[in-house]
């Protein structure tokens, strides 16, 4: 039944699985769609869609599947008015159930059309016509096993109309989809402490047994500090103009890092195209909120894992020249490359993540600067695989080329 709808949903990118599909079938058996298309719409959505980011796809798929129903020749407004009128529920007989159980949607649509042609006026009750009572599967508060009904919408809008309104477009960021995978990759960035600080809250079973035996059986509990991740992360993100097209990807990474609570410390700074005297606290790179790069070089411990995210694409002078900084009202005494070298020497565990597809590193407008920076930092693509590779590299000191 309804398999065509299943494939329509999947074609629109909804990851509907057989589990949920079966749940939907069960719910339909129970008559939970209330036999109105509106009820059917909300039932499908509640069971099949698991994130608001997919609500819009669902609306598109639903509207497309039922599009012929919504055309003027399909279902006139009047029908929906009839459907939304409530009548007391009917007791369903076994016979009725048997007859309607295996009704499939195409069949339903065909019958609907047929009846549309025959329909002469408003109608309640009986078992042939479209109406709100009776045993027609098209009614809304009439027969469905148990008279079980889920209300229509208050605005009296048809499901297809509601779907067509695409109210959830703004959630269609697809933003969160990669976050979990990034997070899972980041989890591997762990190194357990030698337990020097913190409260002793974990029972050390082996030592307890040892001590108790030494004590001639008199219990002596030995406590240990819980294992802790000692990894500290310093994340520097390029928020320059050319990065705008990658902002979604960068946001995903940012969210993933930000929500990875297993790091001992996490510091995030932003820069514009290249790193110079200052690192900024926000992506807008405002001079009012920044920290001297020098200060970071001098005070952050050398074992911070340095992750730089940027397209490494800029004009050569931005990287190589004194005064090459792109912001016209600023000036740098030290070329950007020099700053990058200092960072690289200070933080031996470091990687550069580049959102540009690796294939284009040698052919893009930023090829020259990418090449120079790659000699300095191990560079990986900002993809799931790239991040995994980067995490592996961050576990060991990376040899410096220069």
Partner 1 sequence: MAKKMLQYQGSSDYIVSDEMRNSVNIAMALGKPLLIKGEPGTGKTVLAQSIANALNKKLIVWNIKSTTKAQDGLYLYDTVQRLYDSQFGDGDVGNIKQYIQLGKLGEAFMAKEQLVLLIDEIDKADMEFPNDLLWELDQMSFYIPETRETITAHTRPIVIITSNAEKELPDAFLRRCIFHYIEFPSPETMEKIIRVHHPELEKKLMDQAMETFYVLRNITNIQKKPSTSELIDWLQALVVGGITPKDIKQEMPFLGVLLKKNEDLDQVLEQVYERQVNKKDKSINKTLSRFYR
Q: Which of residues 201-230 bind partner 1 (CB under 8 A)?
A: 203, 218-219, 221
Which is closer to partner 1, CB of 171 or CB of 368?
171
Which is closer to partner 1, CB of 19 or CB of 396?
19
x/- string (CB under 8 A) for partner 1, residues 4-23? -----------x-x-xx--x
Rounded CA-CA distance 36/163 in Å is: 14
Asked if residue 292 binds partner 1 (CB under 8 A), the reply is: no
Which is closer to partner 1, CB of 168 or CB of 300?
168
CA 3 to chain centroid, in Å, comes to: 27
Asked if residue 237 binds partner 1 (CB under 8 A), the reply is: no
Q: Which of residues 268-287 bind partner 1 (CB under 8 A)?
A: 281-282
C-beta separation of 160 from 69 below 8 A: yes
Which is closer to partner 1, CB of 77 or CB of 284?
284
Instruction: Find the helix packing angle between 336-346 and 367-376, rounded to 10°.
Output: 30
Rounded CA-CA distance 206/226 in Å is: 15
Minimum Å gap between C-beta 286 and partner 1 is 8
In which residue are the tokens 């284009």 written?
A: 360
Candidates 2, 40, 55, 276; binder of partner 1 (CB under 8 A) is 55
Candidates 87, 116, 127, 151; binder of partner 1 (CB under 8 A) is 151
Tokens of 54: 């997919």
C-beta separation of 13 from 57 below 8 A: yes
Asked if residue 148 binds partner 1 (CB under 8 A), the reply is: yes
Minimum Å gap between C-beta 288 and partner 1 is 5
Which helix (H) or strand (E) element contains residue 395? none
Rounded CA-CA distance 133/87 in Å is: 6
β-pairing, 265-271 vs 232-238, is parallel
Candidates 37, 61, 83, 92; binder of partner 1 (CB under 8 A) is 92
Minimum Å gap between C-beta 42 and partner 1 is 5
Tokens of 320: 């190589």
Asked if residue 399 binds partner 1 (CB under 8 A), the reply is: no
Q: Give which of 277, 256, 262, 254 is closest to 340, Cα–Cα.
A: 277
Which is closer to partner 1, CB of 271 or CB of 377?
271
Minimum Å gap between C-beta 369 and partner 1 is 29
Q: Give which of 147, 142, 165, 145 is closest to 155, Cα–Cα.
A: 165
Asked if residue 147 binds partner 1 (CB under 8 A), the reply is: yes
Which is closer to partner 1, CB of 16 or CB of 75?
16
Q: What's the Rg (C-alpha) of the chain? A: 32
For the chain, the distance separating the N- and C-terminal CA atoms, rounded to the nearest angstrom, is 66
Minimum Å gap between C-beta 356 and partner 1 is 25
β-pairing, 305-309 vs 232-238, is parallel
Candidates 167, 227, 395, 397; binder of partner 1 (CB under 8 A) is 167
Rounded CA-CA distance 135/100 in Å is: 9
Residues composing the chain: 402
Counting residues that bind partner 1 (by CB under 8 A) gives 51
In which residue are the tokens 């961050």 written?
A: 394
Candidates 154, 194, 201, 206; binder of partner 1 (CB under 8 A) is 154
Which is closer to partner 1, CB of 257 or CB of 379?
257
What backbone phi and psi angles, to 5 degrees, belong to 189? -85, 80
Q: Give which of 144, 26, 28 is closest to 92, Cα–Cα.
A: 144
Rounded CA-CA distance 7/128 in Å is: 31
Span near partner 1 by CB under 8 A; candidates 43-51, 69-77, 271-279, 373-381: 43-51
Asked if residue 101 binds partner 1 (CB under 8 A), the reply is: no
Under the rule (CB under 8 A), what is the footprint of partner 1? 15, 17, 19-20, 23, 26-27, 30, 32, 39, 42-43, 46-47, 49-52, 55, 91-92, 145-148, 150-154, 167-168, 171, 176-177, 179-180, 183-184, 187, 203, 218-219, 221, 259, 261, 267, 281-282, 288-289
């Amino acid at each position: 039944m309804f398999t065509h709808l299943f494939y329509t949903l999947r074609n629109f990118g909804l990851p509907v699985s057989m589990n949920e599909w079966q749940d939907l079938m069960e719910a339909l058996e129970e008559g939970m769609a209330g036999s109105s298309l509106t009820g059917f719409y909300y039932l499908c959505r509640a069971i099949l869609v698991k994130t608001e980011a997919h609500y819009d796809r669902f609306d598109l798929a639903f509207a497309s599947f039922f599009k012929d129903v919504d055309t003027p020749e399909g279902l006139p407004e009047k029908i929906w008015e009839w459907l939304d009128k409530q009548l007391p529920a009917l007791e369903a007989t076994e016979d009725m159930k048997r007859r309607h159980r295996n009704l499939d949607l195409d069949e339903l649509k065909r019958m609907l059309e047929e009846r549309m042609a025959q329909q002469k006026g408003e109608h309640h009750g009986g078992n042939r016509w479209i109406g709100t009572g009776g045993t027609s599967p098209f009614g809304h508060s009439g027969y469905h096993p148990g008279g079980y009904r889920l209300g229509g919408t208050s605005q009296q809008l048809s499901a297809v109309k509601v779907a067509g309104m695409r109210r959830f477009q703004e959630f269609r960021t697809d933003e969160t989809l990669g976050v979990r995978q990034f997070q899972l990759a980041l989890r591997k960035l762990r190194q357990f402490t030698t337990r020097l600080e913190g409260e002793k809250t974990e029972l050390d079973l082996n030592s307890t047994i040892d001590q108790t035996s030494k004590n001639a059986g008199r219990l002596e509990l030995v406590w240990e500090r819980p294992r802790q991740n000692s990894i500290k992360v310093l994340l520097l993100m390029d928020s320059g103009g050319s990065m705008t097209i990658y902002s979604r990807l960068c946001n995903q990474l940012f969210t993933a890092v930000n929500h990875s609570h297993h790091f001992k410390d996490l510091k995030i700074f932003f820069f514009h195209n290249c790193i110079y005297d200052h690192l900024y606290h926000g992506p807008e790179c405002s001079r009012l909120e920044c920290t001297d790069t020098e200060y970071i070089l001098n005070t952050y411990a050398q074992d911070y894992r340095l992750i730089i995210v940027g397209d490494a694409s800029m004009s050569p002078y931005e990287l190589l020249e004194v005064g090459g900084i792109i912001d016209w009202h600023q000036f740098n005494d030290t070329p950007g490359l020099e700053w990058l070298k200092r960072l690289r020497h200070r933080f031996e565990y470091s990687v550069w993540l580049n959102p540009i597809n690796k294939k284009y590193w040698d052919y893009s407008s930023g090829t020259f600067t990418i090449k120079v920076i790659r000699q300095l930092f191990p560079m990986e693509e900002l993809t799931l695989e790239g991040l995994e590779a980067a995490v592996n590299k961050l576990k060991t000191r990376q040899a410096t080329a220069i």
